[in-house]
Amino acid sequence: MLFTLYFIGVTLLVLSRLENSQIREIRGLLTDLVSPVLQVASQPAIYARRSKEQLVDYLDLFDELDRLKEENQNLRHWQWQAKRLERRLVQYRKLLSAVEEPALKFATGPVIADARGPFARSVLINLGKANGVRNGYAVINRDGFVGRIVHSGDNASRAILLNDLNSRIPVLVGPAAVRAVLVGDNSARPRLEFLPNSAKVYEGDEVSTSGHGGLLPRGLRIGAVVPGSGNAYRVRPHATLGELEYVSVLFFDTPVVIARDAPAGGKERTLSQREEKLQTQARGKLHAKAGTQAR
Amino acid sequence: MIKGIVPSLVLFLAVALAAVPWALPAAAAFILPLLLIIFVFVLAMLQKSELPAVPVFAAGLLMDVLTAGPLGYWAVIFLLTHTLAGVYSRRTRQKRFTNLWLAFAATAAVAAIFGWALASIYFVRIIDWQPMFIGGAVAIALFPLIAWPVRHLLGLVPAARFSRQG
């Protein structure tokens, strides 16, 4: 019996390594099954984290008040600047006859499990296909981009974080918008790779998604450049990836996303097309009949 | 019957609690899964018949699903811990707490080394050993804090006998 279990374990490991599709389906099914249990189990963790945050907030109350007053003063200045730039932008758009970009829709949900161990840096989110989530959608929190959906179940979805070993994000670096690829290596700070030889990158430069490849929206803030070993650069994400509580999934439908994850309502769509065809035929017959009557 | 399924239920509950987001730093990724081997070790060694290998394997698989790792990884590590606990249980009659702790230290060390080797084989490269070994060391250090209440709350060992021997 024990030997059989060891054999099954090793076989599952080998099949997982070979990325067997059935294993992926079983994993998705099990994730959906356990997500309600996890949602309940995560409540003590959420409560503990909130209590800790409240305690820290209470201890820092007076310092925080001073900081907020100063920040408010700065923000008033930026608000004035933003309004001025917004007005100018409207004028420029009119001059260019530019088409308005549609606003991104999103859904927000809690993180109910996060990955531990040597393999993945990912989180399980309590949002699934039922909420409109699809594979490939970007995941953000209040601090910026954190990852993307790799498996959307009916009620829960798995998102790999930007520091995961399999994560490759096309990015723009610094004010010169230098193109690069942000490569995860399971460490807290992913690497910047494929920088052009002549590129000038400095510590503290902002890094954001470039939108190249058509999977992610352009301009989602990621983090700041920090020096790595040798001549390499790494990125310190703005979001604390180990402490994600609530995240938002951006519904950014591009041909790439649609090709990778076809809409769940495929049958429904075919049916409505057929219905539409029948309705058109019926309308045609009705018009023909009306025409005959008129004659 | 009910008493028989309690160790398995405790193990599954511990797996669920180990997977929820406790806001631990990235370097502590191994601590919670390796704390689970304390549960496997204690529950399997004291009343082996009440925690068979199948629920241990299933709990490991659940851990694999929840942590998005390859299926079979934690299942095999939990199974190894269960096997080692069984070997110790069969060979030792006097289960003094200090001896139990030492046996767990050896088991945790084997589990950590095995886990690191298995992950390295899976990735076909030598992975960073430090997080895994820190996780193992934390599990060894926290063993009394988890093992003692688990043993007594579940009533697996008469408290008087345990305190006299430990």
Dihedral pair phi/psi, residue A173, rounded to 5°: -115, 130
Q: Which of B16, B29, B60 is nearest residue A116 as measured by Cβ atoms? A: B29
In angstroms, rounded to a whole number, what is the distance separating the alpha carbons of residues A120 and A90? 44
Q: State residue B83's pLDDT score.
A: 92
For A109, the token pair is 């949900």
Confidence at residue A207, expressed as pLDDT on a 0 to 100 scale: 93
Smallest Cα distance from A163 to chain B, Å:
10
Interface test with A, best of B37, B65, B77, B130 (most A CBs within 10 A): B65
Is A5's CB within 8 Å of B24's CB? no
In whole angstroms, what is the distance from residue A206 CA to residue A57 CA?
Answer: 28
pLDDT in tens, A37-59: 888 888 888 888 888 888 888 88
Contact A161, A122 (CB under 8 A): yes
Q: What is the pLDDT of residues A129-139, one digit of tens each?
A: 888 898 889 99
**pLDDT single digits (tens) A192-228:** 999 888 888 889 999 999 988 878 888 899 999 998 8
Chain A environment of B116 (Cβ under 8 Å): 118
Q: Which residue has the higher pLDDT, A94 or B24?
A: A94
B33-91 pLDDT, tens digit per residue, is: 888 999 999 888 765 557 888 999 999 999 888 888 888 999 999 999 999 998 888 88
Task: For residue A115, give the chain B residue with the closest CA.
Answer: B67
pLDDT of residue A293: 42
Chain A residue closest in CA terms to B130: A118
At CA A217, angle to CA A125 and CA A191, rounded to 5?
75
Q: Which residues of chain A neighbour B32 with C-beta distances below 8 Å?
A: 116
Asked if the Cβ–Cβ distance from A116 to B118 is below 8 Å, we say: no
Mutate to test the interface with A, among B31, B35, B71 (most CBs of A within 10 A): B71
User: Which range, of A10-19, A95-104, B3-12, averages the lowest pLDDT?
Assistant: A95-104
- Which pLDDT band, with edges at 50, 70 and 90, does B94 fall under? low
- What sections of chain A are H helices per DSSP? 2-17, 21-59, 61-96, 255-260, 266-294
- How far CA A46 is from CA of A12, A43, A249, B18, B27, in Å, comes to 33, 5, 20, 13, 20
